[in-house]
Chains A and B, each alone.
Chain A
Amino acid sequence: MAEYEAVIGLEVHAELKTNSKIFCGCTTEFGGAPNTHVCPICLGMPGVLPVLNRNVVEYAIKAGLALNCEIAEFSKFDRKNYYYPDLPKNYQISQYDLPIAKNGYLEIEVDGQTKRIGITRLHMEEDAGKLIHQGDDIAEAEYSLVDYNRTGVPLIEIVSEPDLRSPVEARLYMEKLKAILQYCDVSDCKMQEGSLRCDANVSVRPKGSTEFGTKTEIKNLNSFKALQRALEYEIKRQIEILEDGGRIVQETRSWDESKGITITLRSKEEAHDYRYFPEPDLVPLVIDREWVERVRQTLPELPDARRRRLMEEYGLPAYDAMVITGSKALADYFDQCVEKFSDAKTVSNWIMGELLRLLNAHNLEVEDSPVKPEGLAELLALINKGTISGKIAKTVFEEMFETGKGAEEIVKEKGLVQITDEKVLAPIVDKVIEENPKSVEDYRNGKDRAFGFLVGQVMKATKGKANPQLVNKLLRERL
């Protein structure tokens, strides 16, 4: 049996977070009652004309630079013609042969190795609206409603080279891409709101072969999990067909999340002929180099650079640095926390441990965390000063998360201050020794475990508030 490898390329659509749409002044805000964020221009009514939003170009340049692309000096818009009720003009204004950016790359870490994934092109286009089918599914719907609020929201489409070799690589690429776009502040990349969407092209071939197999395209993968699962399924499906001596049909497929399979959407024979031609209502886009340089100056520190900085500046392990810089918001959280509490590794432990655990449990984004970086720093300082123990701190943190109160406030309210006074602790230690003669004897006979038991009893008696070092010291003195 031959061994196969997958060849994967991704087409990612990201909505840009400009305030207004790409060709008119309507708001791009998500939500809103249907058809309230519209005007004659984005509705493509008779006689209206598009006027390009300069900010969209600026954001596209920024994203292009962040993805190491060449920014075109001369670029233009084209019409992509196809009929669909959510597309008011029945053509989409997009870019075809002269996109604003091309020939870039991004890097992912695979098994400890850095792998470079090529970016073929990045282009601007307008989004379409949304169809709401009144019925169980498209086929059964008696009628459909259209909401044009999203129509004309600016998109960038980022097309990768077929450099990805596994579903995991595809997911890592997508995660890195998301992080970069978020770092640049050009898109909020909310996959659940559709502001980041992905289509995947996939084929398989015998390992070692340089020729491409016949590919299929899987449309509208709207989560990292869906991307990975759909690719896993599709690769398996293709290999099975080849193993059985069959032939892959070039077609567009869609991912059925509930069944966990991909299904045929349309075959190559029914494929669209988009009849691209230059958009005559817009003049070609000439981008002067000064503008590109000005945009370059506004580029923030990107994930890779930031990861390296965290490792060099704070001595964070590679794993920590990767997790922390996976999202800009998380990295910002880290930086702000370290500013107030300089033990970076402790901060990183808490962020990766308690913070992410509670955020996940409450389904919250870092930005919405009830405990701000200053709050966490305050808590860590309390541990450092010996006011509370690390164990107590975890309870305090949960309380902070639930109530939004400060660490000191909670510690005071609940009387959680650590007992560091020998005079207070000594009688308790004495009492524990008195009440556990068996363990005392065991310890004296060389059983170390018995010592731990006695410490535990002291902690229990003090509800965990006793300073562990002090307990150790007092116990040893007495035994």
Chain B
Amino acid sequence: MNLYELTAHELHELLQKKEVSSREITQSVLERIEEVDDSVKAYVTLTKEKALQQADKVDKSLASGETLGPLAGIPMGFKDNICTKGIKTTCSSKILENFVPPYNATVVERLEEAGAICLGKLNMDEFAMGSSNENSAFFPTRNPWDLDRVPGGSSGGAVAAVAADEAIYTLGSDTGGSIRQPASFCGVVGLKPTYGLVSRFGLVAFASSLDQIGPITKDVTDCALVLQAIAGHDPYDSTSANLPVPDYRQALVPDIKGLRLGIPREYFGEGLDAEVKEAVNQAISKLEELGACCEEVSLPHTEYALPAYYLIAPAEASSNLARYDGVKYGYRTEEAKDTVSMYMKTRREGFGPEVKRRIMLGTYALSSGYYDAYYLKALKVRTLIKRDFDRAFEKYDALIAPTSPTVAFKIGEKANDPLAMYLSDICTIPVNMAGLPAISIPCGFSQGLPVGLQIIGKPFDEVTILRVAYTFEQNTDYHRAKPALEVKR
């Protein structure tokens, strides 16, 4: 067994027993990256030296008899839209290609305090816009289960790294499904926490009212540990909730007897791949077998979630991305004769097509004369979607659905059809619109590719969805399956 294949909690035990050092673990993962990243292409920036230094520091405190926290000495990576002090944070965009933030995101601060080892920054769809990682300005990341396929997006690099054992865990961001959909495509665990549970300070904004940082891990236990480390109020983020953080390890109970689970019928309709549907239904049977009471429920406004999302998210994005203008940092066009032409050329040359498409959509949706018909209407739809969930949660402890309607698709397959691409987030988007927590865990295979099960919870009730996920995981083997990645020696 290679160290890089283990989970954080397994490695923590070895560290505590002094059977391995953090340096050994870190080196093992760095070697793994060297072996497979030419094929997977998950990393945009590697911080090897820094990682080893951090590892030595953890080893030193371990040697001095200190008790280590559960994540101390464990190597991990950040999606490249999470700001890291002194380390390039590019958002996989030409416009931020050489941007080095002078500050850390709050999640980075918290993990550094917890002794985490940062391996580097992970590839993504430019500014987190996309569902396949093909929108990276640098290169596409590949799905470790099939290198001809996409890992999903936009946290594709962060997810592929975990699936390919190039990191023990990673942090991604989820605006419309960007953690869960790739987690589903790559057969790992991905959690989108309740909006406001994890600070967004230092997360480069895509759509501020939807974005949320979350963990991507090899199993549910690690997911709980990482969430524990990053959750909680942050005075630097007014939208972060000022609530006590529960003990998520207590959620790791292999028992769901008596839990009531709703199965939203709208998630099983047209467009859902038959084999995916079959895998999800089997998972539901398994949950029933384990003592949960599963019932069909209706979330009638589900079909409006996608169009409303594609008004709200681009609207916010058009505003959030206005700051990339060549005046202060990042890319600036070589030739411009005045301010306006500098703006126009910088942005034309600096942004990729998907980002431009959404900026234009959002600008249009907010412009005077259209605001009421588009943006305001979308906000109303958002309220209806929230109400659907509220009503369902009056009766159910959690909801069960597919994470993605299909398994990972081929690179290039949907690249020129934005609408087809947008449909791959259809099962995840309503959750962001309602600000709810949801986790995706592996629940089966179709065509040899992983299928994800999505468990949606009440606001700030991560405990229940972790418990359902943990119980399922303890009674199945899907999470142990590893891609047969061809290794270049």
Mark A residues whose CB is within 8 Å of B. Answer: 40, 43-52, 79, 81, 83, 85, 88-91, 144, 146, 273, 275-277, 280-283
Contacts and interface: CB of A to CB of B under 8 A. Distances in A.
B208 A275 contact: no
B27 interface: no
Contacts of A89: 322-323
A144 B339 CA distance: 9
A144 B201 CA distance: 31
20 contacts: A40-B102, A45-B323, A47-B82, A47-B101, A48-B103, A49-B200, A49-B238, A49-B239, A51-B237, A52-B238, A81-B318, A81-B319, A81-B322, A89-B322, A91-B319, A276-B366, A276-B371, A280-B208, A281-B208, A282-B238
A2 to B, nearest CB: 35
Given A40-B102, A83-B322, A282-B238, A47 B328 contact: no
Interface in B205-253: 205, 207-209, 235-239
B138 interface: no
Contacts of A44: 323
Enumerate the 3 nearest inter-chain pairs by beta-carbon distance, A residue then B residue, closest first: A90-B322, A280-B208, A275-B366
B200 A280 contact: no
Among A40, A90, A146, A283, the one with the most B-chain Cβ atoms within 10 Å of its Cβ is A90
B436 interface: no
B211 to A, nearest CB: 9
Interface of B: 81-83, 89, 91, 96, 99, 101-103, 105, 200-205, 207-209, 235-239, 315-316, 318-319, 322-323, 325, 327-329, 339, 343, 363, 366-368, 371, 375
Nearest to A44: B323
A83 B325 contact: yes
Contacts of B318: 81, 275
Contacts of B205: 46-47, 281
Contact of B101 (A40, A49, A50): A40
Nearest to B322: A90
Contact of A280 (B101, B102, B316, B328): B316
A40 B237 CA distance: 14
Given A85-B327, A146-B327, A277-B366, A50 B238 contact: yes
A90 B325 contact: yes
B319 A48 contact: no
A415 to B, nearest CB: 68
B316 A48 contact: no
A146 B327 CA distance: 9
A91 B320 CA distance: 9
A281 B238 contact: yes
Contacts of B202: 47-48
A416 to B, nearest CB: 64
A303 to B, nearest CB: 36
B203 A277 contact: no
Contacts of A144: 339
Contacts of A40: 101-103
Given A48-B201, A51-B235, 18 more contacts: A40-B101, A40-B103, A45-B329, A46-B96, A46-B99, A46-B204, A47-B101, A47-B200, A47-B202, A49-B237, A83-B325, A90-B325, A275-B318, A277-B316, A277-B371, A277-B375, A280-B207, A283-B238
Among A43, A47, A50, the one with the most B-chain Cβ atoms within 10 Å of its Cβ is A47
Given A51-B236, A275-B363, A281-B238, A45 B319 contact: no
B96 A85 contact: no
Contacts of B371: 275-277
A275 B204 contact: no
B368 A275 contact: yes
Given A83-B325, A275-B368, A46 B319 contact: no
Nearest to B240: A49
Contacts of B99: 46
A47 B84 CA distance: 11
Contacts of A91: 319, 322
A52 B236 CA distance: 10
A85 B341 CA distance: 13
Contacts of A283: 238-239
Contacts of B325: 83, 85, 90
Contacts of B203: 47
A43 B328 contact: yes
A48 B89 CA distance: 13
A273 B204 contact: no
A283 B204 CA distance: 19
A45 B101 contact: yes
A342 B301 CA distance: 77
A40 B327 CA distance: 15
Nearest to B330: A46
Nearest to B209: A280
Contacts of A280: 207-209, 239, 316
Among B203, B236, B238, B343, the one with the most A-chain Cβ atoms within 10 Å of its Cβ is B238
A310 to B, nearest CB: 45
B236 A49 contact: yes
Contacts of B316: 277, 280
B340 to A, nearest CB: 8
Contact of A49 (B91, B201, B319, B329): B201
Contacts of B367: 273, 275
A77 B322 CA distance: 18
A300 to B, nearest CB: 31
A21 to B, nearest CB: 14
B327 A46 contact: no
Nearest to A40: B103
A90 B347 CA distance: 13
B105 A47 contact: yes
B437 to A, nearest CB: 19
A190 B375 CA distance: 40
B238 A275 contact: no
A85 B208 contact: no
Contacts of A43: 328
B468 to A, nearest CB: 30
Contacts of A85: 325, 327, 339
A273 B323 CA distance: 17
Contacts of B323: 44-46, 88-90
Nearest to A131: B339
Nearest to A51: B238
B326 to A, nearest CB: 9
B368 A273 contact: yes
A275 to B, nearest CB: 4
Contact of A88 (B201, B236, B328, B343): B328
